[in-house]
């Protein structure tokens, strides 16, 4: 009986590992919003990483989180680090990799706790004319084998997408006053 249970458990684990081979490892989630302000005004605000504390959903999840900064904000190399006792916030840092004025900011996200990981975040602005700007915010990462199996049980597109939507709506609210 015990032998049959062990064989069943081993068979289940082996099956899950085979399934994980076919589950995508990489993902990208992107959301956008249009704001009734000129691109320069919007970009001059979002290029400052510290300003994300004013609109990012993640920054609002723990008002007591410890934040530290190094470098010159709004320039490549600037790092914003956070540490929180709130499990969904954890510990990590975000670094500005590059800036194309009035167009795009690239970030490296390094998650330390509760899980180690890296992601690339991009904020793009598009001048729509008539003093309106579309802001696109995306996050791309990957889940290594066999942890990519978790993608079958969690909707990353919805989870991260909802947080990006909240952040973009908060950002728009900063300019709609």
Is the distance from CB of 159 to CB of 141 less than 8 angstroms?
Answer: no
Q: What is the pLDDT of residue 17?
A: 86
Q: In what order do the strands lie in the sheet with 91-100?
A: 26-35, 133-142, 117-127, 104-113, 91-100, 79-83, 66-70
Q: What is the pLDDT of residue 113?
A: 94
**pLDDT tens-digit profile, the chain (177 residues):** 899 999 999 999 999 888 888 999 999 999 999 999 999 999 999 999 999 999 999 989 998 999 999 999 999 999 999 999 998 899 999 999 999 999 999 999 999 999 899 999 999 999 999 999 999 999 999 999 998 988 888 888 999 999 999 999 999 999 986
Homologous superfamily in CATH for domain 25-175? START domain (3.30.530.20)
Q: Give the helix ranges, DSSP H, for the chain.
A: 2-22, 39-46, 57-60, 156-175
Q: What is the pLDDT of residue 76?
A: 98
Q: What is the pLDDT of residue 20?
A: 87
């Amino acid at each position: 009986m015990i032998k049959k249970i062990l064989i069943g458990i081993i068979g289940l684990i082996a099956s899950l590992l085979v399934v994980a081979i076919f589950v995508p490892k990489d993902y990208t989630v992107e959301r956008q919003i249009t704001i009734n302000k000129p691109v320069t005004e919007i970009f001059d605000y979002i290029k400052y990483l510290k300003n994300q504390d004013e609109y990012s959903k993640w920054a609002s999840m723990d008002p007591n989180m410890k934040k530290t900064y190094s470098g010159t904000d709004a320039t490549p190399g600037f790092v914003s680090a956070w540490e929180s006792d709130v499990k969904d916030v954890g510990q990590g840092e975000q670094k500005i990799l590059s800036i194309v004025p009035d167009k795009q900011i690239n970030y490296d996200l390094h998650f330390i706790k509760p899980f180690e990981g890296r992601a690339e975040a991009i904020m793009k602005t598009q001048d729509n004319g008539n003093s309106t700007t579309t802001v696109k915010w995306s996050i791309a990462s990957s889940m290594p084998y066999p942890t990519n199996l978790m993608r079958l049980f969690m909707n990353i597109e919805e989870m991260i997408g909802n947080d990006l939507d909240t952040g973009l709506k908060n950002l728009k609210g900063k300019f709609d006053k």
